[in-house]
Structures are given as structure tokens and as C-alpha cells.
């Protein structure tokens, strides 16, 4: 193992949280897929524990501190493919028959987008969208990398998953933060709002600081795909702006592929690598700062 996982926080369980989202949000109008992972009580306990930590510690100040730490992007330099290889060391080795590696999740998402005939930038977005999870390899606990994100610095929505755990967040008792607008101005737009820290925001900065030429819908998909209180629950309408509303359908479209493209058929990287290499060359060539 060449990473530095905090002990008691097995990286091998990283995928569980994505699967949990799938369980909470079955495809509208469809019955939950039989061949998706079954959720026993121990998985649910793990998810509860995860959100207990996440909701307690994701404060406004915590988010600022993580931004100061990571957004200068001075951890390492990697090409997109090097980041995929690096992230792929996060594998669920406890259950190899069911769990997909990180690269397989990225490829299945991207291939599902491609199979529907979408533009190449959309396909590449699927392929890179979770690369911010390399934060785990930099020693961040999972509750600071994955899971749903939500605005901090204003009152917490009761549509956030496990809202009861937000009572443990000291910001919920801070008069500066616990009004509907909090530190923000009405209609200021998502770009001015701090979300709980995780892989979405981090990757957004990696690609934009690299001078990414992916179009704006791609940037929204990357930055907000975990923000379920916004893209699924329609919360924070006082804070978002018209541009966010315009981009919302793209984020929702992307979400279908992120959640429902999982299948036991493992994509064959050797068959696909040339195609993805050419997409990376086109939109995100060379070394990126992480």
C-alpha cells in the first residue's frame, strides 16, 4: 500500500457512499435494480457513522482551512492518466466480485454517456469526475472527501441527508451562520457559496487552474455533482442565481450516469485507453497541478 490512510478509516470502503446514494435515490419511476448491491444493516450503520462525522466537522471554518491547504495545488503534479492510476490504488479488496475499482466507475460512467451519443467533452467529464478523491491518498478522512455536499455559512437545510446530525455542527448554534442567508447575499450564486469540503470542489480547481477548455456545463457537473440538496432537493433557492438554474439540467443529466451506470461488466481499459487518451490530449493535456 503506497498511501497514508488514517488508521481505522479503511479506504477500501470508499465506494460504499456512492452506492448509498443509489439506494436513496432509485431511478424515478423504476424499481431499484435487483443486481445492485444489497444494503445490510452494517452498511447502513457505516453510512450513518460516516454522516455523523461529516455533519459534525464540516464547519465553515473547516472548509476555509481545507481551501487554504489544497487550493494552492502544491501537493503534486500529475497528468490525468497518472491521477487515474493513482486513484485506482483505492480498491475495495474486501469484496472484489462486486465492487468496482475507481477507474472502472469512471469508465462505466463515461462509457454510458458515450453510448447515448453525447459530445466528447461530456464523455471526458464522466471519465474524470471523481479524480478529486485523490484527497484520500493525501491523508484526508473519507468524511472530508466523499458523500453529499451542502452549503456552509448559512442555515442547514433539513433536506440534507441525516439532518439530525447537523445539530452536532457548532455552526448550527452560531448566529452568524444560522439564518437562511447566513454570510451570503440573496441570489449571490453557487460560485460565491462555500460547500462542505470534498472531491468536487477540489477537482474543479485542479481543472480550471490548469486552463481547462471543458465547457461550463462540464465544470458544473464536476463541481456540484455531490450537492444533492441543490440538484435533487431544490433547496437554497434564495442563494442560487439564474445561471445556476440554467446549468442545473446538466448536473441532473450527469447524475443519472454517475448513479445508474454501474454494472458488473467490467470495462476493458486496454480497449478504451486510446480513445480516452485522445480526449485528455484535446481538453486537459500534460501535467496538472494537484
Site string for Fe ion, 115-134 (x = CB under 5 A): ---------------x----
| Short-list 227, 14, 220, CA closest to 103 | 14
Rounded CA separation 146/50 (Å): 10
Site string for Fe ion, 129-168 (x = CB under 5 A): -x--------------------------------------
Give, for 77, the enclosing helix (H) or strand (E): strand 77-78
Nearer to Fe ion, 18 or 120 (CB): 18
Give, for 114, the enclosing helix (H) or strand (E): helix 102-115
State the helix-helix crossing angle for 102-115 and 242-260, rounded to 10 degrees.
110
Q: Which residues contact 81 (CB under 8 A, 6 or more apart)?
A: 276, 277, 280
Nearer to Fe ion, 178 or 269 (CB): 269
Does position 104 bind Fe ion by CB under 5 A?
no
Cβ-contact 238, 186 below 8 angstroms: yes
Between residue 40 and residue 79, which ones bind Fe ion under the rule CB under 5 A?
none
Between residue 250 and residue 279, which ones bind Fe ion under the rule CB under 5 A?
258
Count of residues of this chain found to bind Fe ion when the rule CB under 5 A is applied:
2
As measured in angstroms, the least distance from the Cβ of 187 to Fe ion is: 27
As measured in angstroms, the least distance from the Cβ of 149 to Fe ion is: 10
Cβ-contact 29, 138 below 8 angstroms: no
As measured in angstroms, the least distance from the Cβ of 21 to Fe ion is: 9
CB count, 10 Å around CB of 251?
21
As measured in angstroms, the least distance from the Cβ of 249 to Fe ion is: 19
Residue 192 grid cell: 460565491
Nearer to Fe ion, 130 or 171 (CB): 130
As measured in angstroms, the least distance from the Cβ of 183 to Fe ion is: 26
Nearer to Fe ion, 172 or 256 (CB): 256
Handedness of CA 19, 25, 26, 27 (dihedral sign): negative
Nearer to Fe ion, 84 or 154 (CB): 84
Question: For the chain, what's the residue count?
Answer: 290
Q: Which residues contact 127 (CB under 8 A, 6 or more apart)?
A: 106, 107, 109, 110, 276, 279
Cβ-contact 281, 125 below 8 angstroms: no
As measured in angstroms, the least distance from the Cβ of 129 to Fe ion is: 6
As measured in angstroms, the least distance from the Cβ of 155 to Fe ion is: 25
Nearer to Fe ion, 176 or 252 (CB): 252
Nearer to Fe ion, 22 or 130 (CB): 130
Site string for Fe ion, 195-224 (x = CB under 5 A): ------------------------------
SS3 of residue 32 by DSSP: coil
Binding residues (CB under 5 A) for Fe ion: these are: 130, 258
Amino acid at each position: 500500500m503506497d498511501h497514508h490512510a488514517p488508521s481505522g478509516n479503511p479506504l477500501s470502503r470508499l465506494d460504499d457512499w456512492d452506492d448509498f446514494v443509489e439506494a436513496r435515490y432509485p431511478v424515478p419511476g423504476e424499481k431499484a435494480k435487483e443486481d445492485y448491491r444489497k444494503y445490510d444493516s452494517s452498511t447502513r450503520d457505516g453510512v450513518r457513522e460516516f454522516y455523523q462525522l461529516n455533519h459534525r466537522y464540516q464547519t465553515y471554518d473547516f472548509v476555509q482551512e481545507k481551501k487554504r491547504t489544497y487550493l494552492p495545488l502544491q501537493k503534486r503534479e500529475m497528468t490525468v492518466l497518472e491521477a487515474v492510476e493513482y486513484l485506482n490504488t483505492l480498491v475495495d479488496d474486501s469484496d472484489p466480485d462486486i465492487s468496482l475499482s475507481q477507474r472502472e466507475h469512471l469508465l462505466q460512467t463515461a462509457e454510458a454517456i458515450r453510448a447515448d451519443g453525447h459530445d466528447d467533452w461530456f464523455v471526458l467529464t464522466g471519465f474524470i469526475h471523481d479524480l478529486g478523491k485523490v484527497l484520500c491518498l493525501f491523508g484526508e478522512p473519507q468524511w472530508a472527501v466523499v458523500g453529499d455536499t451542502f452549503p456552509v455559512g448559512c442555515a442547514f437545510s433539513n433536506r440534507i441527508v441525516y439532518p439530525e446530525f447537523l445539530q452536532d455542527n457548532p455552526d448550527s448554534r452560531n448566529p452568524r451562520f444560522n439564518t437562511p442567508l447566513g454570510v451570503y447575499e440573496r441570489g449571490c450564486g453557487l460560485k460565491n457559496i462555500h460547500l462542505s469540503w470534498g472531491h468536487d470542489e477540489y477537482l474543479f480547481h485542479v481543472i480550471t487552474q490548469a486552463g481547462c477548455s471543458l465547457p461550463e456545463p462540464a465544470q458544473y457537473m464536476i463541481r456540484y455533482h455531490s450537492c444533492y440538496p441543490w440538484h435533487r432537493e431544490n433547496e437554497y433557492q434564495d442563494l442560487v442565481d439564474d445561471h445556476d438554474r440554467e446549468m442545473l439540467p446538466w448536473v441532473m443529466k450527469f447524475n443519472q450516469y454517475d448513479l445508474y451506470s454501474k454494472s458488473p461488466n467490467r470495462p476493458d481499459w486496454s480497449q478504451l485507453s486510446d480513445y480516452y487518451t485522445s480526449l485528455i490530449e484535446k481538453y486537459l493535456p500534460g501535467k496538472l497541478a494537484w
